[in-house]
Amino acid sequence: MKPVFKKIYQRLYASLGPQGWWPAETPFEVIIGAILTQNTNWQNVAKAISNLKEAKAITARTLYSLPRKRLTRLIRPAGYYNIKTERLECFLKFLFTRYRGSVRKMRTQGLNTLRLQLLSVKGIGPETADSILLYALGKPVFVVDAYTRRIFTRHSLIKGDEDYHAIQNLIMKNLKRNVQLFNEFHALLVEVGKKFCRKKNPRCARCPLQQFK
């Protein structure tokens, strides 16, 4: 157990404080957001979610009964709207087929089984599955995203070309298996990444992780 991971977390938490993720009112809303935010700025997703709320279509039942074209129009600001319409429908079909449309029922299922089930849904890959497991269902998995990879690469903790699960295993091996820790850590990595670890123009000078370079 390398203390560097714990140290990074403590440094981030000390400097940015608790993030209170996921920004949503219900677990179902978390799931919708997780699908809509694929390769997409959260600001655009927020608009789409706001549209869904305005249309009273932010519960499993109301969203599932929405005509496809209407759904597409509502989520348009999130981009990739044709693909995301299909992905939302695939998830909803899964949710109703396997759990009678109940996210709470879903939650009673074990982590590993659930993860495999989610990955079998077209449009849900490793990151989206883990975001759902952690932030919507409270399961102890670490979410690896582009910022996680970039930050750990820039601090030479990984090479950068490892696959999703290699990075996830490395991190989970070095931390306590704790939902709240995983929740805050990933959120902190994203926030610090947005501010200091962009693809280009990395404004590293004031990054709280400066010393780990």
The residue (of 71 and 190) whose beta carbon lies closer to DNA is 190
The contact pattern for DNA, residues 123-162, with x = CB under 7 A and - = no contact, is xxxxxxx-x---x---------xxx---------------
Cβ atoms 49, 29 nearer than 8 A: yes
Phi then psi dihedrals of residue 90, to 5 deg: -60, -45
The contact pattern for DNA, residues 64-103, with x = CB under 7 A and - = no contact, is ------------xx-xxxxxx-------------------
Torsion of CA 180, 183, 185, 190, to 10 degrees: -160
Q: Is 168 in the site for DNA (CB under 7 A)?
A: no
What Å distances lie between residue 19 and 77, 93, 133, 134, 189, CA to CA?
A: 25, 32, 18, 15, 10
Residues in the chain, how many?
213
Binding site for DNA (CB under 7 A): 21-23, 33-34, 37-44, 47, 76-77, 79-84, 121-129, 131, 135, 145-147, 164, 190, 193-194, 198-200
